[in-house]
A = this chain, B = another copy of it.
Amino acid sequence: MTYQLHYWPGIQGRGEFVRLALEAAGAPYVDVARLPASEGGGARALGHQLTTLAPPPFAPPVLAADGLVIAQTANILLFLGARHDLAPADEAGRLWVNQLQLTLADLVDETHDTHHPISSGLYYEDQKAEAKQRAGHFIAERAPKHLGYFQRVLEGGGGWLAGDRLSYADLSLFQVTRGLEYAFPKAMAALAPRIPAVLALADRVAAQPPIAAYLASDRRIPFNEEGIFRHYPELDA
């Protein structure tokens, strides 16, 4: 069985959390919008396809397989985690990993809003002054609070966020850490001494063979200024 992932073709975005789980699981998938246009790829085809899926998703990413059509990143990961052993099988462990994922989703939302504090429908250039303000608070308060939380969780555990093995929450914390390092290199360098376990976890995830292979492949879209984690030097100060 091959999964179909529906997500914007030019960015990591929220789809990247799903890509990382599929890659870690070694699960066959087609990144539909990244196919050539002649095979149904492209952003316009994606926009059309989203209107034909049932039950209807509000927004991508969407994962389709076995007659299931699943949207919302954390929901897709809940499904993949159970099916591909990327989360504990017991109720407490499953809820804990979902809880961590939702906490990371909040951090992702807050990161997005550093460059779009007024509206996603406006260009960054139209909200630069407000972005500078919001990014300042994000760097001073929110990023340290969030990453400090994950640091504490890791200090109390066995090298992974849940138990003694990799879960999809680890994959997601890796992604958020690399994203913040890309977007805010100065701020993250200043924060590094306070979050050694988070940085070590990110390195450990990156060294997992299937993840290392993925990151070295052209399936990994580079960070860019269309995604969630954008490097605008003026916001990193």
The answer on a CB contact under 8 Å between A95 and B78 is yes
Known: A58-B103, A102-B72, A146-B58. A118 touches B134 (CB 8 A): yes
Name the contact of A70 in the complex, choosing from B67, B71, B79, B99 (C-beta under 8 A).
Answer: B99
List chain B residues, Cβ under 8 A from A208: none
Taken together as a complex, chains A and B put the C-alpha atoms of A212 and B114 apart, in Å, by 41
Count of identical protomers in the assembly: 2
Which residues of chain A from 163 to 188 have any CB-CB distance to chain B below 8 Å in the complex? none
The answer on a CB contact under 8 Å between B117 and A130 is yes
List chain B residues, Cβ under 8 A from A106: 58, 109
List chain B residues, Cβ under 8 A from A49: none
Taken together as a complex, chains A and B put the C-alpha atoms of A106 and B102 apart, in Å, by 11
The answer on a CB contact under 8 Å between A137 and B121 is yes
Q: How many residues of chain A have a CB within 8 Å of chain B?
A: 39
The answer on a CB contact under 8 Å between B78 and A98 is yes
Judged by a CB distance under 8 angstroms, whether A189 is at the interface is no
The answer on a CB contact under 8 Å between B95 and A117 is no
- Report A108 CB to chain B, min CB distance, Å: 11
Judged by a CB distance under 8 angstroms, whether A216 is at the interface is no
| 12 extra A-B contacts, CB within 8 A, seeds A55-B153, A72-B98 | A56-B149, A58-B103, A67-B92, A72-B102, A74-B74, A78-B95, A79-B91, A117-B118, A117-B134, A118-B134, A119-B134, A121-B141
Pairs across A and B, CB under 8 Å, 29 listed: A55-B96, A55-B153, A56-B153, A57-B99, A58-B103, A58-B146, A67-B92, A68-B91, A68-B95, A70-B95, A70-B99, A71-B99, A71-B103, A72-B98, A72-B102, A72-B103, A74-B102, A78-B78, A79-B91, A79-B95, A109-B109, A113-B113, A113-B117, A117-B118, A117-B134, A118-B137, A119-B137, A119-B141, A121-B141
